[in-house]
Amino acid sequence: MVNVPELFGSLVFDERTMKERLPKQTYKTLKKTIKEGKPLDINVANIVANAMKDWAVENGCTHYTHWFQPMTGVTAEKHDSFINPNDDGTVIMEFSGKELIKGEPDASSFPSGGIRATFEARGYTTWDPTSYAFIKDGSLCIPTAFCSYTGDVLDKKTPLLRSMEAISNSAVRILRLFGDKDTARVITTVGPEQEYFLIDKELFDSRKDLTYTGRTLFGARAPKGQELEDHYFGKIKDKVSAFMKELDVELWKLGIYAKTKHNEVAPAQHELAPIFTTTNLATDHNQLTMEMMKRIANRHGMECLLHEKPFAGVNGSGKHNNWSLSTSDGRNLLSPGKDPYNNKQFLLFLVAVIKAVDEYQDLLRISAASAGNDHRLGANEAPPAIVSMFIGTDLEDILEAYVEGREYDAHEEKLKTGVEVLADFKKDTTDRNRTSPFAFTGNKFEFRMLGSSDNISCPNIMLNTMVAEELTQFADELEKAENFDEALTELIKRTYREHKRIVFNGNNYAPEWVEEAERRGLMNLRTAPSAIAHYIDEKNETLFKKHRIYSTAELHARYEILLENYSKVINIEALTMMDMAKKDIIPAVSRYVKELVETASAKKALSAEITAELEVELASKLSKLQLCFSHRIDKLDSLLIKAGDISGKQELANFYADEIFPAMQEARAVADEMEMSMDAKAWPYASYGQMLYSVK
Ligand code: ADP
Ligand code: MG
């Protein structure tokens, strides 16, 4: 039996452990520095480090590592052991305050977008004491931020912390206007729902495409996909269930609130959702969750796929970023309450988000832009590449009433529309719209565009910063107002009127929406490179600089890294495709055709009565397809050579999106047709049917 409360957080140097292990005064000072965000005094750090080391060693650790999130999007770690030599040749285990606070990994191989010249290889990691140290695989992990020698930010955590600061400052100003004198901090909370696939490890290893790129570059559809919708919320298979149980336990030990697990729409697809927490913790936890999923799947003879589109023809995997604002004592600022029409504080926060999403559609789109996610957005399994938001008809009616300057009677409205009057308003607003990229779901927003492998810091940096900007504008205006109530009503009205084009409560998957969105002047950024291009637009640069999230250099670095990453991913996919084509597929087809021809001639030699028509026809069909396939692979080859001559990062990414990616699709189409016509044993790879139904 698992004792969850005892288990929970047992591998985390959390509040409970700190209280237990630190001298009272040290604990107090540490708490104070965390709260005030000041650097830690070295004497205090020494005591904390020593206590951490003792605790870690007792729990089986031999090493420590600064754990950080460079621009690769995945976490990085470099392990040092605690050992220190004595004069007599023995060793003792030591960990100093300096080692806790600061690390200097040789950082020259992390992407920096040209910020850090490679000759200046030094990068610094500094402890983020708001995220607890934890134990993973025999190492004490210290969550850290990562920057260059010159102080430029090279990671995803620092800007996230900065954006949390920005939104807190602006939201507190708003609260003051409503008479709240006490709230010192407003935090953003996040609960990310994570989708993933599980397939048999042996089958995974047998495919180069999965191994090198995380998705299948070839593969004919299985006769059964997700048509019957029998997998969604279906009974969980034993092997998967064993995996999920172990995953829960490991996550709980790490202090992660793993809560919900179920089967998803596609065969072999599943989901995990944690209980929400502060944004930076949610981000660390989501990174750890993804890592644990992969590791634990291996222990069960499976591979966990986090790619956005491992299999064509069935749904890919995304991530839903549930986001809200709350005071540090836990009051949700996006909660409409029983009477939202008269809850002007709520309405003000609501229109701030509406204005932010409208003005910074591109930033939200960019935060979900990747080569992998391009397969999903707009493919009727995920929201389109157009950003809009769902607020539900009730809130829409309320805001419309404001704009028209009329009273709103919740009771009457509902009778008029024939909807039963519900006791609780929340029930009604949570009437979900599953197709919206950004949906209000009762007391939070659910941003649904993210890809499954994304690091959630990026969307949250965007969200926090853009909403901080709107709240700052509102505070500037309202603080000056002579009559607060009038100014407030006017502001809510005006903001909604000016930005309501972003609100769309209908079906986002419908083709009519694309036209309607165009009429409304909303952006439709279909590919990752076309979206990323807007990152450095003047309005965005102004935004990030104003709130001290990114300097111009840091913003441009991020822009370049995203583009580079896109081009690299497609390049690896194209190279893998060529490798599979030339080394495996074309030879396999030749062998099979030879077999057919030999069978045909054997038949003919035996007797003129036996027909060899089938073999001849099939051999001829496959030979033609094989030739066509080979030509398409050659075309891909020559396009890749052409790409080598393009120097601009944007131009190169555009070329990969507009020329190379379609050429890959064309090559794939022929290969999939050949697979359908061949003996399964002659085809060099595991089939979709085998992979999708491999886990029993
Ligand atoms: P679904 O979207 O599948 O219906 P739920 O309503 O169960 O899911 O919630 C999804 C996620 O939203 C969970 O991770 C939950 O913790 C998170 N969530 C709930 N309230 C908040 C909040 N105030 N802030 C951030 N996330 C929240
Ligand atoms: Mg959801």
- DSSP collapsed to 3 states, 296-344: HHHHCCEEEECCCCCCCCCCCCEEEEEEEEEECCCCECCCCCCCHHHCH
- Neighbouring CB atoms inside 10 A of 26's CB total 19
3-state secondary structure 660-691: HHHHHHHHHHHHHHHHHHCCCCCCCCCCHHHH
Query: How far out from the chain centre does Cα 505 lie?
Result: 24
Cβ of 324 less than 6 Å from ligand 1: yes
CA dihedral 478, 483, 489, 491 (to 10 degrees): -30
Query: Which pLDDT score is estimated for 430?
Result: 47
Q: Which residues contact 418 (CB under 8 A, 6 or more apart)?
A: none
Output the pLDDT for position 110. 77
CA of 408 to the centre of ligand 1 (A): 29
**Does ligand 1 lie within 6 Å of residue 274's CB atom?**
yes
pLDDT of residue 426: 45
For 531-590, the DSSP string reads HHGGGG-HHHHHHHHHTTS--HHHHHHHHHHHHHHHHHHHHHHHHHHHHIIIIIIHHHHH
Q: Whose atoms come closest to the Cα of 383: which ligand?
A: 2
* DSSP SS3 for 511: helix
- Cα–ligand 1 centroid distance for 189 (angstroms): 10
Q: Which amino acid is at 16?
A: R
Pairing of strands 139-148, 63-68: parallel
- Ligand 2 centre distance from Cα of residue 436 (Å): 11
Q: Which ligand is located closest to the Cα atom of residue 432?
A: 1
Amino acid at 424: D
Q: Is the CB of 456 under 6 A from ligand 1?
A: no
| Ligand 2 mean position, distance from CA 26 (Å) | 42
Rounded CA gap, 327 and 347, in Å? 16
What the block records as the tokens of 588 is: 């396999």
Q: Which of 261, 276, 447 to mutate to test the pocket of ligand 1 (most atoms within 8 A of CB)?
A: 276
Q: What's residue 272's pLDDT?
A: 96
CA distance readout (Å), 409 to 403, 424, 443, 581, 634: 15, 15, 21, 66, 67
**Distance of CA 191 from the midpoint of ligand 1 (Å):** 6
What is the residue-wise DSSP string for 432-473?
--TT-SEEE-SSSEEE---BTT--THHHHHHHHHHHHHHHHH
Q: Burial code of 300-319, b = ≥16 C-beta within 10 A, e = fewer?
A: bebbbbbbbbbbbebbbbbb
Among 562, 521, 518, 558, which residue's Cα sits nearest to residue 540?
558
Non-local (6+) Cβ contacts of 95 within 8 A are: 49, 50, 52, 53, 56, 64, 82, 140
Q: From 400, 386, 382, 318, select the one nearest 358 (Cα to Cα).
A: 386
- Residues 214 and 307: beta-carbon distance below 8 Å: yes
Long-range contacts of 395-399 (CB under 8 A, 24+ apart): 395/336, 395/340, 395/350, 395/429, 395/440, 396/503, 396/505, 398/340, 398/341, 398/347, 399/347, 399/350, 399/351, 399/492, 399/496, 399/500
| Residue 580 φ/ψ, nearest 5 degrees | -65, -40
Cα distance between residue 190 and residue 160, in whole Å: 12
How many angstroms is it from 335 CA to the middle of ligand 1?
Answer: 13
Phi, psi of 18 (to 5 degrees): -60, -45
331 torsion bin: left (phi>0), alpha (psi -120 to 50), beta (else):
beta
Structure tokens at 678: 């061949």
- Atom 6, ligand 1: which residue's CA is nearest? 441
Q: Which helix (H) or strand (E) covers residue 220, if one does? A: none
Question: Cβ(194) to ligand 1 under 6 A?
Answer: no
What is the radius of gyration, based on Cα positions, of the chain?
28
CB 283 within 8 Å of CB 157: yes
For residue 190, the ligand 1 atom closest to its alpha carbon is 25
C-alpha torsion 359→347→441→339, nearest 10: -170
Ligand closest to CA 326? 1
pTM for this prediction: 0.94
| Cα–Cα distance, 182 to 626 (Å, whole number) | 73
- Asked if residue 332 has its Cβ within 6 Å of ligand 1, the reply is yes
Q: Which residues contact 129 (CB under 8 A, 6 or more apart)?
A: 30, 33, 34, 40
By the 8 A CB rule, do 144 and 126 touch?
A: yes
Point out the ligand 1 atom lying closest to the alpha carbon of residue 443.
23
Q: Whose CA is nearest to atom 3 of ligand 1?
A: 193
Q: What is the pLDDT of residue 425?
A: 47
CA dihedral 385, 389, 392, 397 (to 10 degrees): -130
CA angle 317/318/324 to nearest 5° reads 155
Residue 360 and residue 364: Cα distance in Å, rounded? 7
pLDDT of residue 432: 64
Walking along the chain (696 residues) 10 residues at a time, the average pLDDT comes out as 90 94 93 79 92 96 93 85 90 92 77 63 82 94 87 89 96 97 95 97 97 97 82 87 96 95 90 96 96 97 97 94 95 94 96 98 97 88 89 92 84 48 44 83 95 97 98 98 96 97 92 94 95 98 97 94 96 98 98 97 93 96 98 98 96 98 98 96 95 90
Q: What's the pLDDT score for residue 2?
A: 81
How many Cβ atoms are within 10 Å of 131's Cβ, its own excluded? 22
Query: How far is it, in rounded angstroms, from Cα 515 to Cα 384?
Result: 12
User: How many angstroms is it from 346 CA to the middle of ligand 2?
Assistant: 22
Rounded (10°) angle between helices 157-177 and 344-359:
140
